[in-house]
Structure 1
Amino acid sequence: MDGKRIEGNEVYALAMCVSILLFAPIVVSQPIPADKSQVEAWFNGIIKPVKERGTTLDPELVQAETEPRIIKVMQGGGGEFDTITKAIKSVPSGNAKRVIISIGPGSYKEKIRIERNKPFITLLGDPKNMPNLTFDGTAKQYGTVDSATLITESNYFVGANLNIVNSAPRPDGKMVGAQAVALRVSGDRSAFYNCKIIGFQDTLCDDRGNHFFKDCHIRGTVDFIFGSGTSLYLKSGMQNTEIFVVGDPEGDPEMAIITAHACWCKRKQQAVSSLACVVSLEACSSEDTGYSFVHGRITGTAKDVFFGRAWKSSPRVVYSYTEMDEIVHPSGWSSNRQPERADTVYYGEYKCTGKGATPATREKFIKQLSDAEAKPFLVLDYVEGTKWLLPPPTVPK
């Protein structure tokens, strides 16, 4: 991600948006347990099958789940299609039923896009033999956000048991446009279960909408979770959930940054085909977006890792109950060398552990959250999850 350059054929307004830090009250009952061994039971107690939840779910979602269609993708025969792209093309525009695309093992070198007019699609791999979705697109070729191996623009998307990889070479700091996204999530109400999302710079474009990531491994170098989504990243039970920061060979601390949360806005209602930000500048100023990381671990081969930088003026990122390895920089966070942004960021930590959890050394603008301040970030309704989240899908027999 390069905030100094407008890329691609479209004109993007890299507008500096001021997010409202005081947000509307939300339901804070049944917060995520502090004991990570209890999280799976807590989740299963809330996110039950559709038949058991009735009117609490979005009506269109309930209707979509009544008669799901299953499409099998297998390399070498045995399925309806041999590529994921062909399977997606078979889904009609305006689709109103859940379509589960069951993907067999193997490596699928495809640039995959699920457009807005195809909601209710699930990409499902086998947890015992996860398929590899891989491509080597770069910002130089496609523009940053369109370089992604997997782009999901539709609502109610689910991805489970997938390796999502951008295999482009690691940026060397010299070549223009070397950023390479593995996954861009631009649709609302999208969930990912047990996925590995792997790249270097700009691995995950958490673009816009409410998103939920459960038991996922996310790997990168700099700004590798970026965008203006409202997202909850949750570790459950003993699953290997990690934010893995890959070390910089040159040892530059500025090259080890996890998040660059931002607000993207279009200018003068211009068409923006490759970003999901379709609101006006006025609407953007009132948005309430941010990333909440709960449980999980920050680890890797890097040194002096920053949790986030203020790439735009008003990012909002909170880590709760997170195990932090000693790779974390003592100050923890960066104002992006713009001191005035210390007054507009919302960066928080809550009951984190590990050698990298050192509140006394953090920047002065960091919030060590109280119980009351942390509660809104510790519920599924942070992403309106009780209205749309479903249990993780299972491989059809």
Structure 2
Amino acid sequence: MSTPRLSVDGARDCFAMNRRLFLAGVAVAGILPPPAIAAAQPDVRVEKAGRAGTFRSVADALAAAPSDPAKPWHIAIGPGIWEEKLRITRPHVTLSGAGRDRTILTYSIAAGMKRPDKGNWGTYGSSAVTVEAPDFTATRLSIRNDFDYVANTLRPDGINGAQAVALALGPGADRSVLRDVAIIGHQDSLYLRAGRTLVADSLIAGSVDFIFGGAAALIRHCEIRSRRRPGDGVQGFVSAPSTHQAQSVGFVFRNCRLTREQGLPDGSVYLGRPWRAGGNMDLLGASAFIDCWMDAHIHPDGWTSMGYARNGARAQLTPEEARLFEFGSQGPGSGSASRSRRLLSTADLATFDTSNIWGDWQPA
């Protein structure tokens, strides 16, 4: 068995090559116009009371944005539960609320449920809020998918396809900023599918693969809360990165707290597993937890494998093959170095600088 030190050294060589490839891609992205700065004061307000000069729905406020896509559009959303399935395709949109526990954007839908055209929604289509444009900001609000995952699991006739995304940052999304938000679901809560993202001072809650996708994301000073689901044994997986192998950095969790709902057993949740979506061999998941506190629900092995289909057969992508690492883990869920739980050295941390995550973009 190779030592953790050797496995990390080998990974560093891979990181060095991938960094050059990724930064070349960032140089191409640099030809895009610089992001506009959102206005400090909202352009419009959405309120339940429907007073003069306000909108009664978030969708109506989005539809009222000026035709010039370079103009920032800041929507202040008042207290209340806003049950709307939202799709944001315009750049420079800011959604600000009255507080995480006061402004709640929600929808209840799952991948296996039927669309109006009788097809299934699918994982991406299940999102309560979908963003497909650059320079999106959300602050002081909650985004939830309230599909009843637990009840569906307990029903003998429950739907097959319980993925229920709260927020999806999809094709076209880039330079997204989420501050002081709560993103809550069960399976597949936060889909970081594309672009570059900062998530700061926020709560992300779920059970199975609840932070997943191929984006380059810094998740900083957040609570990462694992939720209990029916059954014994493995209760969930925090992250499921599907990072392209040419991209040096995927998900970086820094100074986060990994907590759990009451009753979630010790050792029942993995830090993550590498997702090779669609059997795409170019995907080599990258996720790192740096200076994070972990409760005892984290499995001693840290990471585990994930299956994928390849030429009609099933295969496994293992943690040793992927890019899954830790540094400075603390708390009862932290573990010692092993073949699956690879610990970075101080010198390795340069790989996870924001310049490698975001290139020339530095969010304010």
**TM-score of the superposed pair, with normalisation by structure 2:** 0.78
The amino acid of 2:160's aligned partner reads V
Query: What is the match of residue 269 of structure 2?
Result: 305
Matches within 5 A, 1:328-367: 328-336=298-306, 341-360=318-337, 362=338, 364-367=339-342
- Per-residue displacement from partner, 1:38-81 (whole Å, max 9, x unpaired)? xxxxxxxxxxxxxxxxxx9x86325x557976111111123421
The amino acid of 1:330's aligned partner reads P
Query: What is the match of residue 185 of structure 2?
Result: 199
Distance (Å, rounded) in 1 between the aligned partners of 2:100 and 2:164: 28
The amino acid of 1:293's aligned partner reads F
1:229 deviation in Å? Answer: 0.8
Query: What is the match of residue 24 of structure 1?
Result: 19
The amino acid of 1:321's aligned partner reads D
Query: What is the match of residue 178 of structure 1?
Result: 162
Task: Determine whether 1:215 maps to 2:190.
Answer: no
Query: What is the match of residue 76 of structure 1?
Result: 49
| Larger RCO (CA under 8 A, 6+ residues apart) | 1
Q: Secondary structure at the match of 2:62?
A: helix
Q: State the identity as a percent.
A: 29
Task: Determine whether 1:225 maps to 2:211.
Answer: yes
- Per-residue displacement from partner, 1:322-344 (whole Å, max 9, x unpaired)? 00001111101002265663442
Query: What is the match of residue 223 of structure 2?
Result: 242
Query: What is the match of residue 260 of structure 1?
Result: 240
What RMSD over aligned residues (CA atoms) do the two structures have, in Å? 2.5
Query: What is the match of residue 142 of structure 2?
Result: 163
Query: What is the match of residue 52 of structure 1?
Result: none
1:244 deviation in Å? Answer: 0.6
Distance 1:130-1:376 versus aligned 2 partners, 3 A rule: farther
Q: Secondary structure at the match of 2:318?
A: helix
The amino acid of 1:152's aligned partner reads V
Q: 2:97 aligns with which of 113, 118, 125?
A: 125
Task: Determine whether 1:286 maps to 2:260.
Answer: no
Distance (Å, rounded) in 2 between the aligned partners of 1:323 and 1:133: 29
Q: Secondary structure at the match of 1:85?
A: helix
- Per-residue displacement from partner, 1:358-391 (whole Å, max 9, x unpaired)? 124x4x04321011112232x333432763412x
Distance 1:132-1:110 versus aligned 2 partners, 3 A rule: same
Q: Secondary structure at the match of 1:140?
A: coil
Task: Determine whether 1:135 maps to 2:107.
Answer: yes
Q: Which moved more, 1:173-182 or 1:133-142?
A: 173-182
- Per-residue displacement from partner, 1:297-333 (whole Å, max 9, x unpaired)? 1110333110001232611000011000011111010
Gaps of 5+ in 2: 1-13, 22-29, 114-120, 277-282, 308-314
Distance 1:25-1:359 versus aligned 2 partners, 3 A rule: farther
The amino acid of 2:111's aligned partner reads A
Q: Which has the higher strand share?
A: 2
- Per-residue displacement from partner, 1:249-283 (whole Å, max 9, x unpaired)? 21131x311111114xxxxxxxxxxxxxxxxxxxx
Distance 1:336-1:112 versus aligned 2 partners, 3 A rule: same
Distance (Å, rounded) in 2 between the aligned partners of 1:257 and 1:357: 15
Contact 1:134/1:167 (8 A) holds in 2 = yes
- Per-residue displacement from partner, 1:211-244 (whole Å, max 9, x unpaired)? 0000110111101111111100001xxxxx3111
Contact 1:103/1:131 (8 A) holds in 2 = yes
Q: Secondary structure at the match of 1:359?
A: coil
Q: Secondary structure at the match of 1:334?
A: coil
Contact 1:212/1:383 (8 A) holds in 2 = no
Task: Determine whether 1:114 maps to 2:88.
Answer: yes
1:140 deviation in Å? Answer: 1.8
Distance (Å, rounded) in 1 between the aligned partners of 2:213 and 2:166: 14
